[in-house]
Amino acid sequence: MHPNTGRAFGSPVDPGTGWPGDPATPQTPVAADAAQVVQLAGAARSIRELDALVSVCRACPRLVGWREHVAAGKRRAFADQPYWGRPVPGWGRSGRGC
């Protein structure tokens, strides 16, 4: 169940669906390769924007496949819990510059 709405949702969580702390929106650009990672990260104007980019990145097909497999299949120990299923953005003080 979604922690805010109480409704069932798919894993991985789509950007901008109201997941608590989700830095991305449906309009956040998605990097599909290493060159796009460099371009988008270099243009980020804040840590919050960089976190949003990280949380939707799809540049590494192997990592994307693994994290989506885990989010859909879930570990037995956590089968009753919602899974983020996307890259985890950075943590720490958000008031710092890039």
- What whole-number percentage of the chain has pLDDT above 90? 33
Other Cβ atoms less than 10 A from the Cβ of 56: the count is: 23
pLDDT for position 19: 76
Q: Which residue has the higher pLDDT, 86 or 57?
A: 57
Q: Which two tokens stand for residue 18?
A: 């109201």
pLDDT for position 96: 60
**Average of pLDDT values for 55-75?**
87
**Alpha helical stretches, state H, the chain:** 34-43, 47-56, 61-73
pLDDT at 28 over 90: yes
pLDDT at 37 over 80: yes
Q: Residue 2: which pLDDT band, with cuts at 50, 70 and 90?
A: low
Cis check: omega of the bond before 12, within 30 degrees of 0: yes
pLDDT at 67 over 60: yes
Average pLDDT, the chain: 82
Report the distance separating Cα 93 and Cα 26, nearest Å.
25
pLDDT at 64 over 70: yes
Q: Which residue from 20, 26, 23 is spatially nearest to 5, judged by alpha carbons? A: 20
